[in-house]
Structure formats: C-alpha cells, structure tokens
Chain A
Amino acid sequence: MLLAGGAVLAAIGVASVVSGPVGISPGAALAEIADHLPLLEVDSGLTASEAAIVWELRAPRFVTAALVGAMLAMAGAAFQGVFRNPLVDPYLLGAAAGAGLGATLAIAYAEWLPSVGVPPAAFVGALAAVGITYTVGRLAGGGNRAGMLLAGVAIASFFTAVQTFLQQRRSDSVRQVFGWILGRLNTVGWAEARLLLPYVMATAVVVLLHRRQLDVLAVGEDEAEALGLRSGRTRVWVVIAASLGTAAAVAVSGLIGFVGIVVPHAIRLLAGASYRVILPLSLLGGAAFLAVCDLTARSLIQGGELPIGVVTAFVGAPFFASLLARTPG
C-alpha cells in the first residue's frame, strides 16, 4: 500500500511539473530534474527559461504542496487520535488560525526576525489555540464531540479576526500576509520547501513513534491508563508534534482547510481503524491530495489561479458534512 502510494505520488509529481501555460514533455522535465540530482549529468534539451520553469517554479511548488499536505493530513489524524474525535482537524481545532496569528505577529511586528523565525512563532500560536479549544470544549460539552468542534470554530474565528485586524493596521506588510485566509502556494520556491522539511521530519518521527499508543488511547483515557499507558504523556507529545507540523505548514502556505479531515477518513474507509496504518498512509495520501488540489487550482482557470484553499474546501466541505451526518454525538 505504501509502495502504491509512493508510485501515485510520483506520477502526480510528473503531472505537476509538465502542466502549465508552457508545455514541457515529461521526458524533458524528468531529465531536467535528474540533472539537478547529485552525481548526475543529464542534458534535457530544454531552453534556459523552460529549465527554470521546471526547476525553479514547478518542482519546488509540487514538493512544497506535497510536504504541506503530508503535514496537514498527519496532524489531522494525530489530533483525531489524541482527542478521540473523528471530526477534528488542524483547521477546525483552531490550530491553523492560531498558527496564522502567530506567523502574522512575527511578520508584521518583528521585522528583525529572519524568515526561519516565522514557523516557531506560528507554533506558539497553534499550541495556544489547541490548548484553549481543548479547555473550552471540555468545559462546554464534557465528552461531547460537537462541543469541542464548536469551541474550535469560535477560537478560529477569534484568532482570524485578530489576524485580519493586525494585517489592516500594518498594510505595508499586508501583501506578505495576504491570501492566508484561503491558502496560497503560488509564490513558493525551494526556500519554503527547505524551511518546511525539518519540521515535517520532526513531526512525522514523533507522531509515528506514538502510533501504537494512539491505538491504545482509542479505548479512552481511563481504560488506556488501566492498560499501563501513561496517557497524559502520550497526548502532550502528540499534540506538540501535530501543532508543530500544522504551524510549519501554515507558515509556508496559509490556511488550507479540510486536508486533515478528508485524507485520514478516506484512509480509514480503505485500510481500517488502526493508527499504525492511518498515520503513515496519511503522510503519503496528504501529499498526493494537496498536490492534486494545487494542480487543479492552477489549471482550472485559463491564465489565472484559484487559491488552493478554495479547491480543498470544495472537496472537503461536502465530505465533512457527510461525515458529520454519520458520526454519533
């Protein structure tokens, strides 16, 4: 299954690199990419500007979309496991909005901060948002799944409002932050991919290490404790890792919704309920899903581009609605 997923992802990668206003053959694109790999010397036969389109625009964009998608999907699966709530994802928990606010603060008010400082600021915002959502949701509904969701909606709206306010006050840096509400991938290059990579690795490693523990947590905190799991510790680590992944994704791409809902649930339907399967496949599935959404976002309108968040919401919102209808209280 992992192998098949990898093959699909590679195929989407090729499609991403060859699609666009400037037509480039798959063979030439692959040759151009191979030329940039260490120890390889390949002549793709592309002109300098075609080569730049492949290597400087489309390839990093595909890689970044894949990394962001992988992070959002895995964070979604991880949050669902930790909170034993199939309806949460980084977006609905407010984590993404918190990360957005953190990143906006860093960009607008700490100009001395180099761009590597943005993800940590986003991380602080994401953790704060998840913490508040969790607390409010617990106070509101106890074990009620909808309570947490509503708390998340409230927190997300509030954080987004503050973020928008800050944006307007600092209109000079607005351009840099603008477009976040709907997500954007149109300006990314290798720098963003490089910025993202360590966070993706750290998040993936920590979350995957806890995959079996998340299965134990599925029987609830109390029973998990009785089975010998120190459930508080598991939850803290997984929440930290998932928030970190969310923050890094948001810092690069803005607020892209529904990836963390659609992908893990599609995998649940195909491959079962165990997090040992869901988590690694969410990484791959998220990467493939967002890369396809990005491809759609930039191919759908002739000569223009949709914000990617529009595409994910178009697919994700109906999916979420059907999930909502099938999930008991």
Chain B
Amino acid sequence: MIRASQLSVFYGSRPALREVEVAVEAGEWVAVIGPNGAGKSSLLRALAGLVEFTGEVILNGDALRELSRREIARRVAVVPQNPIIPEGMLVFEYVLLGRTPYIGTFGVEGSRDLRRVRAVLSDLELDSLARRPIQELSGGERQRVVLARALVQDPSVLLADEPVAALDIGHVQGVLELIDRLRRQRQLAVLSALHDLTLAGRYADRLVLLDGGRVVAAGTPSQVLTTDIITAHYHARVGVHQHDGGVVVVPLR
C-alpha cells in the first residue's frame, strides 16, 4: 500500500532521516517509535509528500514524487500532532475541508461531498457536534473531529503523528480503538508515531524503532520491545513484562 525505500530527509545539511525502509499494507497498523528527535515526524511528513526527500516512496503502485498534491491528498490523510484549530470554524465546516482534494480549484463542494461528511460524522458519533465551533470541544472530541476530516479524504493510508498525545487514558483508549475499528472496516494502512511504548505494542501489528534518523529495530511488539533494545536507544531503565497477551513496559527506579 505504502512503501518507502532508501528514504532520507535533510534539513539543510543535517540529516533527519537516513535510508529508512518501511512498508504498511492495507488494513495493517504500524507504529513508529523512538526517542525525541529520532525522526518520527520527519518520516510521516516525507510519506505525505510534505518535505523533500531522497529515495523512493511507492503509494498504491505509483511513485509519490510523480503524484500531484491533490492526488496524494486523495490517497494519504494526515492527522497532525498539533492540529491548528481555526477560531470560529464549525465542526461541519472543518470536516468538510477534508474534501478539498475532490473539489475543483475554484469550485465549491457538491452534494456528494456533503453526503460523505454527514456519513463520517455519524459513523464517528459526531452528528450532535456538527454545528458547534471546534474550539469549544474537549480534547477527545477534537481529536475525533480531526480524524473525521482525515476520513472524508477517503484515503487508503492514514498517517497519524502522536494522535493521543494530550489525552487522558480513557480518551486515549477511545481514539485508538476508533482507529483500530476504522482500519479494519476500511482496510486503511495506518502508520502512527506513538511515544507510549506499551500503547504502541498494544495496538500496532508491527513496530519500527527509529534512532538518529535510522531504523534500528523493526518487527512485532515482542521482537522490538525488549529490555536490551529499549535501554540501548532510550537510555532508560525499564522492565518488560508479558500481560494479557501483550507487552507492558514499566520504568524502573
């Protein structure tokens, strides 16, 4: 579905990402983990075509750099780490922005676009919030609205940069369960940066660990989340336990 090979990103002469190999298939969830500054956001930005990169990204069989902005936006949706919430904009208007790649340059939305927005709003149980200004919503509601905007793009790939960063554990679970249901129902290829290792291991099928812009470990959660690997790359002292069929990472002191 989306596959990057030899992917490198430079900011000036400073490399942010070096020869990264990563692939996500339809319906699969891959989590990118790594210490701060490891290149997680750069990877997501490169895969969305938002930064210059070297190497190759193949999206549904086409080279990403051959595709127009509009064509990329029809296939790849981005949930940003800190979405900008325009003052006074209503939830419905905000979600409608996701239809941008389907609306002509100087055109306005048609009935099909409105139908898509309504369908996604009701799927995410946001109907009742449609006429509310987004800045009035709670963090959890807001994150569902941002997700709704991504979904009306009808993407095949969802790139989510720390989608639950500022939420409490209940809302974290709510949003991640929602992403999980959506990727199964819609066969979305999901690539998300997650800093919480236990959560990453719980929800993702596979993990990719970045450090210094390179992939230093990749595989299933139990392959990547080992005491040795975490100690080496996070400089942390942790205990790794098996619990309820998943991996739990606990800081030691």
Contacts and interface: CB of A to CB of B under 8 A. Distances in A.
Nearest to B149: A227
14 contacts: A209-B106, A212-B108, A215-B93, A218-B84, A219-B97, A222-B50, A222-B80, A223-B84, A225-B50, A226-B77, A226-B80, A229-B69, A229-B100, A273-B93
B89 A228 contact: no
B39 interface: no
A195 B103 CA distance: 36
Interface magnitude class on chain B: 20 to 34
Contacts of B107: 212
B97 A226 contact: no
Count chain B CB atoms within 10 A of each CB in A210, A213, A222, A230 and give the residue with the most.
Answer: A222
A276 B108 contact: yes
Contacts of A230: 69
A281 to B, nearest CB: 15
B86 interface: yes
Given A215-B93, A218-B84, A222-B50, 19 more contacts: A213-B105, A215-B89, A216-B100, A218-B89, A219-B86, A222-B80, A223-B83, A224-B100, A226-B73, A226-B76, A226-B78, A227-B153, A228-B70, A228-B71, A228-B73, A229-B69, A272-B88, A273-B87, A274-B93
Given A215-B97, A226-B73, A227-B73, A273 B86 contact: yes
A220 interface: yes
Contacts of B73: 226-228
A268 interface: yes
Contacts of A86: 87
Contacts of A218: 84, 86, 89
Contacts of A273: 86-89, 93
Interface string B93-126: 1100110110101111000000000000000000
A216 B97 contact: yes
B88 A210 contact: no
Given A225-B50, A272-B88, A210 B83 contact: no
B88 A268 contact: yes
A5 to B, nearest CB: 20
